[in-house]
Amino acid sequence: MSSTRQQKEEFTLSKEFLEFMDYEVLELASEDKPDVRAVIQRDNSRFNVGIEIATYQVDAGPGVPGGSPGVRLHAFWSAAQRRIRELLKKEPTLKNVHGLVFLKRDAEPPMSEASAFADELVHLASASCPLNSKEQDIRDFPEDYPLLRKYAHHITLCNVAPDVMHHWECSNVSVSSIGVEMAHIVASVYQKKKKSQFYDRSGVDEVWLLICAQGYPIVSTAGPEPADGNWDDQYLQELCATSGFDRVYFWERMYRWCKEMYPSGELIQKEWRAFPLAKQQQAEG
């Protein structure tokens, strides 16, 4: 992720989190150490905070070589999907066809092959275009489709006329185990603890650590049940207390709950709503 995009993401997450916590955000600016500085107000109390952000993925902890497999797969499919949309606009025979791709269970296609994978997919679909609404499964791929043979388990095509479809889907990026993986949360606190001593604390009243399950892609989701986490674990509490942060939060953005891991242990839950994340998925997809 580019530094500009990361800063924009951190800015957006900080603003949403502070508003979720019912703070009025008076000023907000991207920084380096910590990531964001904010002037906030609530109950007639105004103060300055620095916020360091760590993102949560259920399938990989921070610092794992290569990062989250789910995030990598999402990036691959997003790139392939952009290419698919370009090709479908030039293929009138496919304008009413919806495609659903099922990759092999352990498939890890690299970003460098996303466009070529999309080319093979659309070419094969064009040659196999269903003439009615019945679903058509393709499980055997000819030799001149090497990337489909390598990565795809099967493909389902369906004519949905009169609807026009320029958005195909991949089952593998839509389904994942989700939940509170405490080992990854502990690792995030530990990793940020090592960096907190270098933060610029001038002009701030407190420095917070925000571990965020941002909800997109799906592996960045902790689920609707805060009770799944062992928040009172002694090692976690001691780690938070010595981390250098005045407050440590875990925020489930999509399911709209937040656990203040340190110091209070307070749990905040609000009514779940999917619309903001649905808009983000459309924009990024």
* In the chain, where the domains are located: 3-59+177-284, 69-173
> Which pTM was predicted?
0.76
**100, containing H or E segment:** strand 97-103
**Of 37, 170, 38, the residue nearest 114 (C-alpha):** 170
Mean pLDDT, to the nearest integer, of 65-70?
78
Greater confidence, 173 or 240?
A: 240
- pLDDT-derived band at 278, boundaries 50, 70, 90: very low
Q: What does the pLDDT look like over 77-106, one tens digit per residue?
A: 999 999 999 998 888 888 888 899 999 988
211, pLDDT greater than 60: yes
Q: What is the pLDDT of residue 274?
A: 59
Mean pLDDT estimate for the chain: 88
Pairwise CA distance, residues 102 & 98, whole Å: 13
- Mean pLDDT is lowest, of 39-43, 119-123, 229-233, 251-255, for 229-233
Helices in the chain by DSSP H: which ranges? 3-20, 69-88, 114-127, 146-151, 182-196, 234-241, 275-284
**Of 173, 138, 141, the residue nearest 157 (C-alpha):** 138
168, pLDDT greater than 70: yes
Per-residue burial over 198-230, b if 16 or more Cβ lie within 10 Å, else e, is ebeeeebeebbbbbbbbbbbbbbbbbbebeebe
Q: What does the pLDDT look like over 28-53, one tens digit per residue?
A: 999 888 999 999 999 989 999 999 99
- Asked if residues 263 and 242 have their Cβ atoms less than 8 Å apart, the reply is no
Pairwise CA distance, residues 214 & 207, whole Å: 21
Q: What is the pLDDT of residue 69?
A: 82
* N-term to C-term CA, the chain: 16
